[in-house]
Amino acid sequence: MAARPSPDLPTGTAPRHVAIIMDGNGRWAKKRFLPRIAGHKQGVEAVRRIARAARKLGVEVLTLYAFSSENWRRPEEEVRDLMGLLRHFLASELDELVSEGVKLRVIGGWRGLAPDLVAMIEAAIARTAANPGPTLVIALNYGAQAEILSVARRLAEQAREDTLDPATIDEARFEAELETAELPPLDLLIRTSGEQRLSNFLLWQAAYAELLFVDTLWPDFDEAALADALAWFGQRQRRFGGL
């Protein structure tokens, strides 16, 4: 079952699990009178930069919101470009992930993507499965509401089949069915670009996470910005509902 957060963590504790809503690629490009794809390309460079910085700064798990289930509403050309960038990232970064001992995980409805992309993801997950960590989690075709509904349906089906007593369903039992079940609890969730909403990302997992909204557009987010975020987290008093 998923681990529960420990209360009264002392000030200065480093986050084990950091998640980022990578927002602002389009606005970065617009400010420079460039097409949106240019912003997305720079966003991929930021992913490389921050993934390396997170390892250097001792983050155990980094979860990145790469493509939401709502992003399908974007223009077809932009979606196609984003999927192409994902293919390029997997092809270009896999060797480094392996050499650095990074374990890759993907959450969301990624198995419904194009067959060649699914095959690339499966191969990357398999190749890094035995790595000791840290872990890079990519949320791809992900929506938190869909994740929660899926868990609820599975538990309801088990109860209907008399393989689960509904009275035994508690937070830990529910968390054990989430896609993040084997990961440490989410400590810090960062959103770039100045927007202050979760946009259907890790809604259950973020219940007691520290939330940090920064004005920096994602392509400009760098190691110093991440270090500042971790330092900010270290000053937080995390009581988890207690005094």
220 is catalytic: no
The binding site for Mg(2+) comprises 23, 210
pLDDT in tens, 224-239: 999 999 999 999 877 6
pLDDT at 6 over 50: no
pLDDT at 220 over 70: yes
Are 16 and 234 in contact, with CB atoms under 8 Å apart? no
- Among the listed residues 8, 23, 162, 187, the single catalytic one is 23
CA distance 90 to 123: 10
- Among the listed residues 71, 81, 131, 228, the single catalytic one is 71
Query: Considering the chain, what percentage of its residues have pLDDT values greater than 90?
Result: 90
Q: 199 in the Ramachandran plot: left (φ > 0), alpha (ψ -120 to 50) or beta?
A: left
Place of tokens 């995980």: 105
131 is catalytic: no
Mean of all residue pLDDT scores within the chain: 92
The binding site comprises 23-28, 36, 40, 68-70, 72, 74, 191, 197-199, 210
The binding site for substrate comprises 24-28, 36, 40, 68-70, 72, 74, 191, 197-199
What are the Cα distances from residue 122, in Å, to 110, 119, 130? 10, 5, 14
**Token couple for 14:** 């480093």
pLDDT in tens, 60-93: 999 999 999 999 999 999 999 999 999 999 999 9
List the one residue out of 211, 189, 143, 193 whose CA is nearest residue 39. 193
CA distance 179 to 150: 10
- HEC secondary structure over the chain: CCCCCCCCECCCCCCCEEEEECCCHHHHHHHCCCCHHHHHHHHHHHHHHHHHHHHHCCCCEEEEEEEECCHHHCCHHHHHHHHHHHHHHHHHHHHHHHHCCCEEEEECCHHHCCHHHHHHHHHHHHHHCCCCCCEEEEEEEECHHHHHHHHHHHHHHHHHCCCCCHHHCCHHHHHCCCCCCCCCCCCEEEECCCCCCCCCCCCCHHHHCEEEECCCCHHHCCHHHHHHHHHHHHCCCECCCCC
pLDDT at 116 over 70: yes
CATH top class, domain 17-234: alpha beta
